[in-house]
Amino acid sequence: MTDKPVLTLRDLSIEFPTTKGIVQAVKHLNLTIEKGRRVGFIGESGSGKTTTALAVMQMLAEPGRVASGTIDLAGVDVLALSEEEMRLTRLSRIAYIPQGAMNSLNPVMRIEPQLWDGIIAHEGTLDRAELKRRSDEALASVGLPTHTAQLYPHELSGGMKQRVCIALGIILNPDLIIADEPTSALDVVTQRQVMQTLKDIQAKIGSGLILIGHDMGLMAQSVDELAVLKDGELVEHGTVQQIIENPQHPYTQDLISSVPLVGGDSFLNPERNADAPRRDSSEPLLRFENVRKDYGDVTALHPLSFTLEGDTPQIISIVGQSGSGKSTMGSIMLGFNPPSQGRVLYEGRDIYGMTAAQSLEFRKNVQAVFQDPYACFNPFYRVNHALKFPFKQFGLAKSDAHTQQAMEEACAAVGLDPDLVLSRYPHQLSGGQRQRLIVARALMLSPKLLIADEPVSMVDASLRATILSNIYDLKDKYGISILYITHDLATAYHVSDYVMVLYKGHVVEAGPPKEVIGAPQHPYTQLLIDSIPWPDLNRSWGQGGSGWDPAAQEAAAAQTRTVLRGDISGFALTQG
């Protein structure tokens, strides 16, 4: 290759002085990015991916500093540039698309002037017609219609906003684009569209691309080279082919094996099947009777009836994109959100019309694991408060020693060291540890039904499988029935006994996972499955790229009636 590399990092170390001494965020990193290559930075949160990218932009947050090494941007020593020279370099030579970029658009400005800002800052005031020509060109290059320029950010969908941000990044044809988890807040279908746009535009302007992420599947579908970072060190670097097919470092192997696949080996090891807890009532555990939910004029959930007997422990999965009404269903079941029509019956009693004593009984037996493990702990208390309080509240505690023992057993069951964890404050624990504690809490209370609302979507990829198998154990070893709400079809495939696919408040396909996810019949289910990024180079997004038309598939989905596949005993669904 005759061209010089776009970016050369030589022996780069970045450190943050703190009270507890100097923390080295990045250690002696050596990396070269050739022109036109796409390089993925993969690793857990805190592994130094974003820090490295920010150092290249000279945008490290105080008090971080580059301790040693050089950053060479196509022949320019970035670290030697003055503030003004750096300002001119940003955007024109390196573009940075930050995490959650779609929320960084100015809500009170139309899209067009926001695109012009970058041009004017670098090239001075230009003719209005020229500005317009260039902004239209940029929007067209990311596949947005010209009239988008006249809209305000709130009038665009998440995927469109993300494309506007890409247009902002490439408007000056930079040498290097850094995209920091550009699709983290988007659902799978939009994710695939946005990544396609990013790849196309990068190929067109021929710049280098750094893609930061933690999803091995997405990386496999998007980049040429992969750099695996762990605790600030580059543990492995090579082409995607090398790394996926023959990972050397145990951490890389972990990352690859932690991605659950539809089909393939299960990450779960079902040992024994516990019986469901003995029930006094002969009524079904949970029953939806024609439940509908409206928010204003929008119907989030169309009338739906199902019965969960609960005599044998089962995992029922509810899958769908954001906005499909799946979380609404969860909150209705928990008694947080009264339905607009219909009744929710727990053991034959309407949960929205219970006496105080019945309500306490219901709470004791229906527990939840929420999406955000960071918000679930009161920052004022040590984490054991969240476990101790309900245990006492439900009259399960015989003595303080008994409570302590129960907490320690529950922690041990989810693989946490009770001495290390229980007396800490929430902010001292990682997201994964907190989520496991919430699972431990559910275990301690041994409810009859657990509602798990996206329990692993905010946890580092390498921990997802562990937490899911913790949850699976609840059913397997402790006989708890579980309603698993998720957007991730691959995990639903493995854990569930029955799957319902929700689309715009309707159940579009339902049945055992091997049938619904393994061989989908409804166009919407097919669309979801096509959009999953596989960590497998042979099963590429790209191959179906030309024929892949999500709009057409969605249109077909709206036309097609619900497909009900096989039944299982103990659960009955009737579309109302």
Partner 1 sequence: MTSQDNVPMTRAEKQQAKRLKRFDNPWMNPKLLWGLGLLLAIVALGLLGRIFWDPDLVFTGSAPLKLPPVGFENLRRQEGIWDYPLGTDGGGRDMLAMIIVGAPNTLFVGLLASLIGMSIGIFLGFSAGFLGGRIDDTIRVLADVMITIPPLLILVVFQSAFGDVTLTMMALLIAGFVWQSPTRLIRAQVLSMKQSGYVQMAQLSGASTGHIMFREMLPNLVPYLFGSFIASVTTSIVTAVGLEVLGLGPQRIPTLGRTIYEAINAGALIQNLWWWWGIPTLLLAVIFIGLLLINLGLDEVSNPRLRKLS
Which spans of this chain sit near partner 1 (rule: CB under 8 A)?
15, 17-24, 62-63, 334, 336, 359-360, 363-364, 367-368, 370, 372, 374-381, 386, 389-390, 393-394, 438
Q: Quote the DSSP letter at residue 517.
A: T
How many residues are listed for the chain in this entry? 576
Closer residue to partner 1, CB minimum distance, 438 or 489: 438
Closer residue to partner 1, CB minimum distance, 8 or 367: 367
Beta strand pairing status for 233-239 and 571-575? unpaired
User: How many Cβ atoms are within 10 Å of 504's Cβ, its own excluded?
Assistant: 19
Q: Quote the DSSP letter at residue 433.
A: H
Q: How far is the CB of 445 from partner 1 (least distance, A)?
A: 8
Comparing CA positions, the residue from 539, 543, 537, 540 lying closest to residue 244 is 537
Q: How far is the CB of 373 from partner 1 (least distance, A)?
A: 8
- Contact (CB, 8 A) for 178 and 170: no
- Contact (CB, 8 A) for 198 and 166: yes
Closer residue to partner 1, CB minimum distance, 313 or 390: 390
Which residues lie closer than 8 Å to 193 by C-beta, 6 or more apart?
159, 550
Comparing CA positions, the residue from 445, 442, 523 lying closest to residue 484 is 442
Q: How far is the CB of 388 from partner 1 (least distance, A)?
A: 10
Comparing CA positions, the residue from 502, 492, 487 lying closest to residue 472 is 492
Q: How far is the CB of 437 from partner 1 (least distance, A)?
A: 11
* Beta-sheet strand order (sheet of 563-564): 366-369, 449-453, 481-486, 315-319, 498-503, 506-511, 563-564
Q: How far is the CB of 362 from partner 1 (least distance, A)?
A: 9
Q: How far is the CB of 48 from partner 1 (least distance, A)?
A: 13
Q: How far is the CB of 374 from partner 1 (least distance, A)?
A: 8
Comparing CA positions, the residue from 279, 303, 278, 366 lying closest to residue 330 is 366
Bridge partners for 349 per DSSP? 346
Closer residue to partner 1, CB minimum distance, 387 or 563: 387
What tokens were used for 371?
Answer: 């999406």
Q: How far is the CB of 368 from partner 1 (least distance, A)?
A: 6
Closer residue to partner 1, CB minimum distance, 52 or 367: 367
- Contact (CB, 8 A) for 73 and 47: no
Closer residue to partner 1, CB minimum distance, 63 or 124: 63
Q: How far is the CB of 321 from partner 1 (least distance, A)?
A: 22
CA distance 344 to 375: 27
Closer residue to partner 1, CB minimum distance, 76 or 360: 360
Closer residue to partner 1, CB minimum distance, 17 or 518: 17
- CA atoms in the 13 A half-sphere facing the CB of 549: 7
Closer residue to partner 1, CB minimum distance, 30 or 393: 393
